[in-house]
Structure 1
């Protein structure tokens, strides 16, 4: 693929020998300087698909003096993904003289300002913190040559579209644009038409298709029996590593307390925790110090855990697309994985939405060991009216 020896050396040191399909398609196009619209599920190697050719394009240029102008800007939706992309650039560029920095919220902005004093050839950023630093004139994007919008669909889901447009306005008109998205919703196509110039489209999986190497199973079970069933699955299966998704931060903390009582080493990962605490939780999980990582959807994207064998949806996501992103934490880079969803009758309508998206009915376990429940009623349960405070317009009826 016409990559320089220092880059090939770094790839070999990572233990990679053969490019993935998205890398085979994207790298030559990016090296040609073309804009690209890439559809790739998580775990397909898409980060290397843009990091490797961008490092090569920088390598082809004379090295600028300090402070380094930012020539590559990678915009990502979450802190976790920022760290993952940053580490990838550092690993693949370890034998090259480039400065790579990452900026995101939740940590001291002054520390990041100090780190940016020497400039950065490659800057990986989340939109909010990048705008903060732009307003303080601590970041100059006037010399950006390559702009990467990673996980564009997630960006839109999280309401970043206005921030993205402000950042794009600060970029030079003449630049290469690379846009990566797991799904091609209508809004993504509109954004692509505005951002990209005569793009090459590449795709390695049909829209919203879950990874082929992930075994997906549904356990119909009452809400009250979920925790006990989860503990049994972990213990009976001798699981050493499982990522468990819940809907709320309080639900994550509560489930961790319950699993610890059951003798399962567990830790929570959610937005109420500081960045340092989130890093510690993830590190403890990766190093095998805890068995269960209980996370909200903040971890659905950007977590890169090698050969993660099990993902459990303790609560189904309220957005069907998030199911694909959640289970995509396993079955990565050609490895097999298992995704189990514990589904109560109240969540049957959410399961129906997921199966409609995937265009397939997911297999159910006939005998869970608990009282059988039906998932046939796919009508959304009516929300219970919230009680009014005393003194409100509505008279209390005890």
Structure 2
């Protein structure tokens, strides 16, 4: 899938470093191996001052001795005011404690063991054209999100929003699925 104006790149060790240096320029979403990401940050090729979300997928593996030093380096090079997600198929108490040290007020979410565990996950991304009026832009985004949520069947949903006020506005318009509990978590919702 390709979105005009959105630059997403992957950075993996073992591939030519000079190509990653080029890819890092203007990159908005970086996905990669901790060692390569650390190397690019150290070299000044990957800017971190505007990072707002740090996601660790397979957190159980990333908190292993092999990666934890690189993860620590990356974490401390990111702005203080960032959100963090640590996802893992296995989430023992030791992992919960390990990743909690990176978070101010952690919220831990796990499947309801009395109900079905998700076997698949559907993700949706929308690019909404920019509007010069910020209030109009937020309104358009909320309307588009409400259209999507009203047209998709789901039992669980995670929505990322840049502003807490727009997240709260969406929650208050929760009549689209009044049968499901809703909550907002985080400083950027």
1:153–1:116 distance in 2 versus 1, CA, 3 Å:
same
Q: State whether residues 63 and 98 of structure 2, in contact with CA within 8 Å, keep that contact through their aligned partners in structure 1.
A: no
Q: Secondary structure at the match of 1:179?
A: strand
1:199 is matched with which residue: 106, 113, 127? 106
Counterpart in 2 of 1:184?
91
User: Is 1:146 paired with 2:64?
Assistant: no
CA, structure 1 residues 212+195, in 2 after alignment: closer, same or farther (shift >3 Å)? closer
CA RMSD of aligned residues (A): 2.2
Listed one character per residue, the Cα deviations across residues 201-227 of structure 1 (whole Å, up to 9, x for unaligned) are: 222265xxxx898xxxxxxxxxxxxxx
Q: 2:18 aligns with which of 102, 110, 115?
A: 110
Change (3 A) 1:165 1:212: closer
- Rounded Cα–Cα distance in structure 2 between residues aligned with 1:144 and 1:134: 12
- Give the structure 2 partner of residue 16 of structure 1: none
Out of 15, 27, 39, the position equivalent to 1:120 is 27
Unaligned residue ranges in structure 1 (runs of 5+) = 1-90, 214-398
Structure with more of its chain in strand, by fraction: 1
Distance, in Å, in 1 between the alignment partners of 2:108 and 2:32 is 24
Count of residues in correspondence between the two structures? 116
Poorly superposed stretches of 4+, deviation over 4 Å: none
- In structure 2, the partner of 1:101 is 9
Answer 1 or 2: higher relative contact order, Cα 8 Å, separation at least 6.
1
Cross-structure match for 2:40: 133
Matches within 5 A, 1:253-292: none
**Equivalent runs, 1:1-398 vs 2, <5 Å:** 91=1, 94-117=2-25, 119-157=26-64, 159-204=66-111
- 1:162 deviates by 1.4
1:146-185 per-position Cα deviation (integer Å, ceiling 9, x unaligned): 1111110021346211111111010100011111011222
Cα gap change, 1:204 to 1:120, in 2 (>3 Å): same
| Deviation for aligned residue 1:96 | 4.6
Q: Residues 141 and 205 (structure 1 numbering): CA distance in 2 closer, same or farther, change over 3 Å? A: same
The structure whose Rg is larger is 1
Confirm or deny: 8 A CA contact 2:38 2:74 kept in the other structure: yes
